[in-house]
């Protein structure tokens, strides 16, 4: 029997979406976005996590079969968002991007 992961995906994606918005807003306010790629990574992460939020929300409102398909897709998209954030963090940590 599969677990209903949609609420977990939704809350975690929403939290990470908020963090990405804070990072992007901070970069824009401090005028640091001109010389770095960090804001591009933040925008990509925002798009990915927003998509994951929408899909997981819709999956909670659908029938069981359609819900499982949407939940699986939201899960994959969420994981890709984590990979984007992890990649950006590694690039910053190793001073590849500033």
Q: Please tell me the total number of residues recorded for the chain in this structure.
A: 98
User: What per-residue confidence (pLDDT) applies to 2?
Assistant: 59
pLDDT, mean of each 10-residue run, the chain (98 residues): 81 95 89 79 95 94 88 95 93 78
Matching residue, tokens 């499982």: 68
Domain ranges for the chain, please list them.
6-93
Q: What is the DSSP letter of 93?
A: H
What is the spatial distance between Cα 9 and Cα 3, in angstroms, rounded to a whole number?
12
The pTM assigned to this predicted structure is 0.87
User: What per-residue confidence (pLDDT) applies to 65?
Assistant: 83
User: What per-residue confidence (pLDDT) applies to 1?
Assistant: 41
Quick check: 78 and 11 in contact, CB under 8 A?
no
What is the spatial distance between Cα 23 and Cα 89, in angstroms, rounded to a whole number?
12
């Amino acid at each position: 029997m599969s677990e209903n992961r949609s609420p977990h995906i939704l809350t975690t994606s929403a939290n990470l979406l908020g963090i990405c918005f804070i990072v992007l807003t901070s970069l824009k306010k401090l005028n640091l976005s001109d010389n770095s790629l960090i804001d591009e990574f933040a925008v990509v992460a925002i798009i990915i996590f927003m998509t994951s939020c929408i899909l997981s929300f819709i999956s909670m409102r659908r029938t069981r079969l359609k819900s499982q398909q949407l939940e699986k897709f939201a899960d994959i998209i969420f994981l890709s968002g984590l990979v984007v954030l992890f990649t950006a963090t590694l690039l910053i940590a190793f001073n590849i991007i500033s």
